[in-house]
Amino acid sequence: MEQQVRSASEMVKMLSADPAALNKLKTDPIPVLKEAAARAEDVTTPEYFKDRLVYRIAVIVLGSLALIAAIGSIVLVFAGKTTPEVLVALGSAGVGALVGLFAPSPVGGGAKGG
């Protein structure tokens, strides 16, 4: 998912791109640190977070998987057979993945710009 951009990593990128910035950091670190923090805040949302088609396809596939597993289990029970564990595992994985898609991220609060 989305990885948070840290001001320290932006500062490393900035210092490797501009060797004169290292001298600025040694003499007066406050403006360099503020610029690195501003760069970390200005990072745009990746394009795949804005692509709703991918999420729709994922929801359709995972929902179908969960429904097929549930219906298959019911049919097998009515036929007098035991439900295979792999069918239960597939259904549980489908439902769990759907919950994971719709639950917000506890760290970042979910995808931005969607």
> Can you say whether residue 112 is alpha, beta or left, with left for phi > 0 and alpha for psi between -120 and 50 degrees?
beta
Torsion angle (degrees, nearest 10) of CA 51, 56, 54, 61: 170
Q: Which pLDDT belongs to residue 66? A: 93
For the full predicted model, state whether its pTM sits above 0.75. Answer: no
Collect all residues with Cβ–Cβ distance below 8 Å to 31 and sequence separation of at least 6.
24
CA pair distance 31, 20, nearest whole angstrom? 14
Q: Which pLDDT belongs to residue 41? A: 66
Place of tokens 């004169």: 20
Task: Write phi, then psi, for 110 (nearest 5 degrees).
Answer: 100, 175
CA pair distance 29, 98, nearest whole angstrom? 46
Asked whether residue 40 carries a pLDDT value surpassing 70, the answer given is no
Asked whether residue 16 carries a pLDDT value surpassing 60, the answer given is yes
Asked whether residue 64 carries a pLDDT value surpassing 50, the answer given is yes
Q: Which amino acid is at 45?
A: T
